[in-house]
Amino acid sequence: MSQLTEITERPSDSGAGTVQQRIVVDTRPLGQVLLERSRKPLTFLVLFLLFEIIIHLPTPNGLTVPGQKALAVFVVCLGLWVTSVIPLAVTSLLAIILLPMLGIIDSSKTYGKFGNEAVFFILGAFILAGVMMKCGLSARAALVLLRQFGGTPRRLVFGVLFCSAALSLVMPEHAVAAMMFPIVSEIVRGLHSRGRQMRYATSLYMCMGWGAMVGGVGTMLGGARAPLAAAIFHESTGQSISFVDWMKVSMPLAICMLPATFAAISLAFRCDPPSIVEAREMLQKRIRSLGRMKADERTTAVVMVLTIIAWVGWGHEIGLANIAISAVVVLFMLGVVKWKDVEEYVNWGIILMYGGAICLGWALENTGAALWIAKLTIARWADTPFLLVASFSLVSIVLTEGMSNSAVVAMLLPLGLSLTRDLGLDPRIAVFAIAVPAGLGFSLPMATPPTAIAYSSGLFRFRDVAAAGILLDLTAWVFFVVLAKLYWPVIGMSLAVSGHH
């Protein structure tokens, strides 16, 4: 699979000498090149044929005609989400237009679902995180936290892990990893690592990525999959999951996974640690360069603290989205930030993706397609509430290693909600059994954005971290099912028939 790169010279367009031109000659077999280039059209063709087959098959017993059409749309979207031949957001837009065109949901209801409260909560969270990064508050917090752990090489490793996890409690995990990456890179450059000591540098990058993931499951702010799950749950049941409800379930898992992740990294990357004197000096220098805390930083810090207090105390009554958008409006009114300053921090693709996923989930749920699929698949072996939680959580972790965790939630949650309702279980069980583990794929670079950012350092390959990643996947799953069995009943979420039909 090698490629030959040649450098040739050609005359400059301006006539001033020559310029170098890179010519890349692909030496792979012709069949392999043709297969790669035909992947996208082949994917479209296969999915179109599947769509046509499902639409025109006789309607199976237990499935309605609208449910059959919703299933066809679901199969197409699932194929596009898994293969990523087009962006996730575009796939969701496709779902939004197919649902009314096929008569599954009328247009007004479809676009009404797209404007769900969760979409605006995610938008507000993105903007708040962007303001924190723009004014330098998040970088200052990261550096101050890291300085507290800079005494020894092991403490520095734990410091990077703890710092990423702590920041992901109040910021999207991908934003934390993006912000921490240049800081960790400066630390690595200051270490002058060579040979086996590069394993220590690798451990710092993995702490950055995996720490953001661990903290990201602790609250609804760490990843947009949590608001997405809460929105699908609300559309399906009319009930709500508050900021505190989510923390009560997920924070114990994050606390358990923090030492487990540190232990796994310490075992996987054992080496002779380099001197961290220069790294410690670099942290001090960066903090000094920030100077005293500016007015914008202080204002942003106060607004963020008040916003979190409001989410915890009054999120259920006022609404998480209302609080988030109010905080954003206050920051703009105070002149802390301008729109052009935060535009780049808002992932508009995620906003579109979630709007479409909510519409598709509602369609699957209300046409009965979700229950029909669930009975054919997971219900066949998960015949008790505990096995249901264990099965959904394991499938969620496995799937999120190969596809977007948002897509995993969009795919599995309608099935889980239909199944719990059919069995007379608390429907919140499905939400947490799917959405929380969907953020804990530690192995592959495509599992979560923080992992991909860690891989972008170029210091290591998958095989270098595979053992630790797979170990953490299994550890996260075991911790999750144990907490579900022993802890959930304590907080009023029993794995027993509760009459929620």
Is residue 373 scored above 80 in pLDDT? yes
Residue 99, domain member (yes or no): no
Residue 233, domain member (yes or no): yes
Q: Are residues 142 and 24 in the same domain?
A: no
Q: Could you tell me the residue range of the domain that residue 403 belongs to?
A: 117-491
Among the listed ranges 28-42, 204-218, 241-255, 436-450, which one has the minimum average pLDDT value? Answer: 28-42
pLDDT of residue 257: 95
pLDDT of residue 488: 93
Residue 477, domain member (yes or no): yes
Query: How many domains is the chain built from?
Result: 2
Task: Using pLDDT thresholds of 50, 70 and 90, give the confidence band for residue 317.
Answer: confident
DSSP H helical ranges for 368-384: 369-376
Q: Are residues 454 and 347 in the same domain?
A: yes
Reference 453, options 173, 161, 145; nearest CA is 173
Q: Are residues 447 and 316 in the same domain?
A: yes
Q: Are residues 27 and 128 in the same domain?
A: no
Q: Which residues pair with 7 in a beta bridge?
A: 22
Tokens for 133, please give them: 């990064």
Task: Using pLDDT thresholds of 50, 70 and 90, give the confidence band for residue 500.
Answer: very low
Most confident of 80-89, 203-212, 345-354, 401-410: 203-212
Considering the chain, what is the average pLDDT of its residues?
Answer: 82
pLDDT of residue 170: 86
DSSP H helical ranges for 84-197: 88-101, 107-114, 117-135, 137-148, 153-167, 173-191
pLDDT of residue 259: 95
CA distance 233 to 418: 11
Cβ proximity of 257 and 440 under 8 Å: yes
Instruction: Give the residue-averaged pLDDT of 140-166.
Output: 84
Q: Are residues 31 and 167 in the same domain?
A: no
pTM: 0.76
Comparing 42 with 351, the larger pLDDT belongs to 42
Q: Are residues 22 and 154 in the same domain?
A: no
Residue 449, domain member (yes or no): yes
Residue 166, domain member (yes or no): yes
Q: Which residues of 146-175 are buried (b: 16+ CB within 10 A; e: fewer)?
A: bbebbeebeebbbbbbbbbbbbbbbbbbbb
Residue 222, domain member (yes or no): yes
Cβ proximity of 114 and 96 under 8 Å: yes
Q: Are residues 295 and 146 in the same domain?
A: yes
Q: Are residues 27 and 133 in the same domain?
A: no
Q: Are residues 215 and 313 in the same domain?
A: yes
DSSP H helical ranges for 149-239: 153-167, 173-191, 198-216, 225-237
Task: Using pLDDT thresholds of 50, 70 and 90, give the confidence band for residue 40.
Answer: confident
Q: Are residues 123 and 224 in the same domain?
A: yes
CA distance 191 to 357: 45
pLDDT of residue 447: 63
pLDDT of residue 263: 92
Q: Are residues 282 and 376 in the same domain?
A: yes
CA distance 252 to 170: 16
Tokens for 50, please give them: 């599947």
Residue 59, domain member (yes or no): no
Tens digit of each residue's pLDDT (9 = 90 or more) over 76-96? 988 887 777 888 788 888 988
Strand pairing class (18-26; 3-11): antiparallel
Is residue 436 scored above 90 in pLDDT? yes
Q: Is 319 left (phi over 0), alpha (psi -120 to 50) or beta?
A: left
Q: Are residues 212 and 307 in the same domain?
A: yes
CA distance 39 to 143: 45
Among the listed ranges 156-160, 341-345, 406-410, which one has the minimum average pLDDT value? Answer: 341-345
First to last CA, the chain: 56
Tens digit of each residue's pLDDT (9 = 90 or more) over 200-216? 888 888 899 999 999 99
Residue 434, domain member (yes or no): yes
Among the listed ranges 16-20, 339-343, 378-382, which one has the minimum average pLDDT value? Answer: 16-20
Among the listed ranges 46-60, 84-98, 424-438, which one has the minimum average pLDDT value? Answer: 84-98
Among the listed ranges 12-16, 208-212, 456-460, which one has the minimum average pLDDT value? Answer: 12-16
Is residue 13 scored above 60 in pLDDT? no
Is residue 8 scored above 60 in pLDDT? no
